[in-house]
Structure 1
Amino acid sequence: MPVMVQDIMKLLCSISEKRKMKAAVKHSGKGALVTGAVAFVGGLVGGPPGLAVGGAVGGLLGAWMTSGQFKPVPQILMELPPAEQQKLFNEVAAIVRNLDWMDAVQLTTLVMGSQALQQQLVAMLVNYVTKELQAEICYDD
């Protein structure tokens, strides 16, 4: 039975869609860059007082830019590069290795029929998203 990476990705998308999982990827580097740039320009234009104002405005702008950037987990999964998809595939394959399936539909049906398998896969997915992607998971209720 050839095991396909895309079948596993579709399974993970189905599970994360059912749980309404979203992830907020933290872009702290981008926020820091904006803060520093605005502070620098403020310092050039207004000297020491301009530096203080530029730092405050830049800090607020950087915080605003990086807050609340939630994306659906299925979208994130499908946008992963092939190497990352393969890494996820290997982790999922270890969990579903005892199942007999032919395609994504059959695999998804088998997993959705087992609460224990769903919980294992969700835990693995949450761990992957938080550690590998450094994102925060939330559930859209």
Structure 2
Amino acid sequence: MPVVVGDIMKLLCSISEERKMKAAVKHSGRGALVTGAVAFVGGLVGGPPGLAVGGAVGGLLGAWMTSGQFKPIPQILMELPPAEQQKLFNQATAIVRHLEWMDAVQLTTLVMGSEALQQQLLAMLVNYVTKELQAEVQYDD
């Protein structure tokens, strides 16, 4: 049974697509920084009322800066460089190594039939996205 990186990537894409997972890869930290900075300046200039207004304005500005920055995780996975895909492949293969499958379709069918495997792969994927890509994961329910 040759294990192919593309099969594992398709599996991870299917799982994350089913859960409607997105990640903010860029600018989420910048949005938080702007929110805090505007609240700080508002507090310096206007005291407690300025802090409240600065926090509200900074929050809106930070939200505006990060809006549209969330990308679907399947898209992020397919855009990863080969070395990063290999990292994910190694981690996912450790979870599904006991399964016998011939192609990505069969592998996906087997995993989608097991809630336990889905949960293990999702946990691994969320951990990878948050730790390695330093991104925030969001579910669109």
Instruction: Give the TM interval when normalised to the shorter protein.
Output: 0.7 to 0.9
Q: Deviations over 1:10-32 (max 9, x none)?
A: 00000000000011114268779
TM score, norm. by length of structure 2? 0.75
Q: Deviations over 1:45-73 (max 9, x none)?
A: 99999999999999997774345511000
SS at match of 1:26: coil
Q: CA RMSD in A?
A: 4.5
* Alignment check: 8 A CA contact 2:21 2:140 kept: yes
SS at match of 2:23: strand
Match of 1:86 in 2: 86
Q: Distance in 2 between matches of 1:63 and 1:77?
A: 25
* Alignment check: 8 A CA contact 2:27 2:69 kept: no
Q: Deviations over 1:100-122 (max 9, x none)?
A: 00100000000000000000000
Count of residues in correspondence between the two structures: 141
SS at match of 2:3: coil
- Indicate how the Cα distance of structure 1 residues 41 and 131 shifts in structure 2: closer, same or farther if over 3 A, else same: closer
Q: What is the Cα deviation at residue 90 of structure 1? A: 0.1
- Indicate how the Cα distance of structure 1 residues 21 and 41 shifts in structure 2: closer, same or farther if over 3 A, else same: closer
SS at match of 2:136: strand
Which has the higher Rg, Structure 1 or Structure 2? Answer: 1
- Indicate how the Cα distance of structure 1 residues 45 and 8 shifts in structure 2: closer, same or farther if over 3 A, else same: same
Match of 2:120 in 1: 120
- Indicate how the Cα distance of structure 1 residues 37 and 20 shifts in structure 2: closer, same or farther if over 3 A, else same: closer
Unaligned runs of 5+ in 2: none
- Indicate how the Cα distance of structure 1 residues 137 and 104 shifts in structure 2: closer, same or farther if over 3 A, else same: same
Match of 1:32 in 2: 32
Q: Distance in 1 between matches of 2:63 and 2:79?
A: 25
Q: Distance in 2 between matches of 1:129 and 1:86?
A: 14
SS at match of 2:80: coil
Which stretch shows the higher mean deviation, 71-80 or 43-52? 43-52
Which stretch shows the higher mean deviation, 1-10 or 47-56? 47-56
Which stretch shows the higher mean deviation, 22-31 or 128-137? 22-31
